[in-house]
Amino acid sequence: MMGSSRCNTRSDGRLRVVHARGRAWRGFGYSALTPFLRSFLQRLAAPLSKPDMVDFPPPPGKQPQLSLPSRSGLLSKLEERETALKQREEELADLEFQLNEQKEQFEAKRLELESRSRALIEGELLLKNQKLLHQKQISRLMEQNELLALRKRLEQQEEDFRKKEAFLTTTQKRLNDQLAEREADLVKREAWVSSEHEKATTNHSRRLQAIVFTDVVSYSALMQADESLTIEKVRVDLQRMKHEGEGQGGMLINTMGDGMVMIFPSAIQAVRFSLGMQKAFNTGRTADSLRHRFGIHIADVALLPDGGIAGDGVNIAARLESKAPNGGICLSEIVYFIVKGKLPMPPSSMEQITLKNITEPVAVYKYAPEAISAMADPGGSTSPIVPPEEERTTPPFAIGGSAAAHGDGQSRSPVAS
């Protein structure tokens, strides 16, 4: 009986095996077992929970009598029970072994799942790090692209600056060349005036005349662009001015490339001629049309034997023409005071200027092309005008082919252009 044991079922549904000594051998919960093992254990424990004896109801009116089994029967039953318990113990040991194997398998699977989960977490962290690295690389590439674009823009701007600088240098050189040519032209005109003045010192007569100088704006640049076309345009305009000037009673003295010199017996005739020509040139003007400047002065001039004129008044008129606006007229003070009450022409501006080789400052009155276009028609005619007595001066040459005697006893003839 030392190795005997019993098996019973606890109230919580767990099977309990107790040795004869009273020590619990093992307990299992039904919920932890498979359905097959649970049913097997229930069948195994079921006979132990039923009584070996069947109690019949006592007969009525008699006291129940206790029937005790014999000792040999009890011993045999105990041996049978012990044998069954041993078998069940072996079965339970086998079952425990199987459960331990399943537990080990479950533990191995758990460890495998944990290792896989750890690998997945590490992979996720690696992907996050790679994503951050890629974002940094993308941002670095974007910065490099922005820097490259900025560098290209700076190089383009630098190239534009170089082109502009080259253009400005070329323009400045061209303007300097034009200025030098203009100064050389003025020097030639001064030399011509001086030579005419020297000629007049030996044999001349003097008369009070209105002097008109003209030239073309930007003549040197136009010649560089298209020489033949510019020469033809200048020729047409000079021929037109010569015709209109002679219609106003003037006389052509000389032509100098892009300009001409005319004299008039009256300041009013000279101004009327200049206004009419500038208004005609500015009306319907196109981009290809020439622009002229007029300078007018009245002075006592020396009449040279070859039909030219000389004197400080001629030099002043040439300087006034260079101060005139593009497409406008510049009058000396004396001319302005002569014509201001007889022609409706308020000046655009008035200023005191110092002319080269002229000691005293000269007051000049400038008329812009807008002011000239806004003026009424000066009313020029195609026939020579006979001015009133107070405006009349003696013409230096005979008009209509008749000779005019001068104080020096010599006659003058017009100079062809």
Give the closest residue to 291 by CA, choosing from 369, 231, 359, 186.
369
The CATH architecture annotation of domain 203-374 reads: 2-Layer Sandwich (3.30)
Distance CA 213, CA 319 (A): 9
Length of the chain measured in residues = 417
- The helix (run of H) or strand (run of E) holding residue 116 is helix 71-202
Report the pLDDT value the prediction gives residue 383, as an integer from 0 to 100. 40
The interaxial angle of helices 71-202 and 312-323, nearest 10 deg, is 160
Distance CA 346, CA 359 (A): 28
Q: Are 208 and 393 in contact, with CB atoms under 8 Å apart?
A: yes
Give the closest residue to 415 by CA, choosing from 255, 199, 256, 289.
255
Report the pLDDT value the prediction gives residue 379, as an integer from 0 to 100. 56
Q: Judge residue 368's burial from the number of C-beta atoms within 10 Å of its C-beta, 0-12 exposed, 13-18 middle, 19 or more buried.
A: middle
List, for the chain, all residue ranges whose pLDDT scores fall below the cut of 70.
1-38, 41-69, 196-204, 357, 377-417
Q: Are 279 and 292 in contact, with CB atoms under 8 Å apart?
A: no
- The helix (run of H) or strand (run of E) holding residue 130 is helix 71-202
* CA angle at 40 for the pair 39 and 42, rounded to the nearest 5°: 65
Q: Which residues contact 29 (CB under 8 A, 6 or more apart)?
A: 12, 13, 14
Coil, helix or strand for 97?
Answer: helix
DSSP summary character for residue 362? E
Rg of the Cα trace of the chain? 67
pLDDT digits (tens, 9 = 90+) for 233-268: 999 999 999 999 999 899 999 888 889 999 999 999
- Residue 347: HSE in the Cβ half-sphere, 13 Å Cα cutoff: 21
- Residue 387: HSE in the Cβ half-sphere, 13 Å Cα cutoff: 23
pLDDT digits (tens, 9 = 90+) for 126-142: 999 999 998 998 988 88
Report the pLDDT value the prediction gives residue 234, as an integer from 0 to 100. 92
pLDDT digits (tens, 9 = 90+) for 166-210: 999 988 898 998 888 888 888 887 787 777 666 655 555 778 899
- Tokens 């100079």 correspond to 415
Coil, helix or strand for 296?
Answer: strand
The interaxial angle of helices 267-282 and 227-247, nearest 10 deg, is 140
b/e sequence 36-56, b meaning 16+ C-beta within 10 Å: eebeebeebbeeeeeeeeeee
Report the pLDDT value the prediction gives residue 197, as an integer from 0 to 100. 62
User: Token pair for residue 13?
Assistant: 């549904």
Coil, helix or strand for 205?
Answer: strand
> Phi and psi for 248 in degrees, rounded to 5?
-90, 5
Beta bridge partners of 206: 302
Q: Which residues contact 132 (CB under 8 A, 6 or more apart)?
A: none
Give the closest residue to 399 by CA, choosing from 389, 387, 384.
384
Give the closest residue to 256 by CA, choosing from 173, 201, 196.
196
Report the pLDDT value the prediction gives residue 216, as an integer from 0 to 100. 92
Residue ranges per domain, the chain?
A: 203-374
Q: Are 224 and 299 in contact, with CB atoms under 8 Å apart?
A: no
What's the whole-model pTM score? Answer: 0.47
* CA angle at 264 for the pair 365 and 277, rounded to the nearest 5°: 60
Report the relative pairing of strands 205-216 and 292-303 from DSSP bridges.
antiparallel
Beta bridge partners of 366: 330, 349
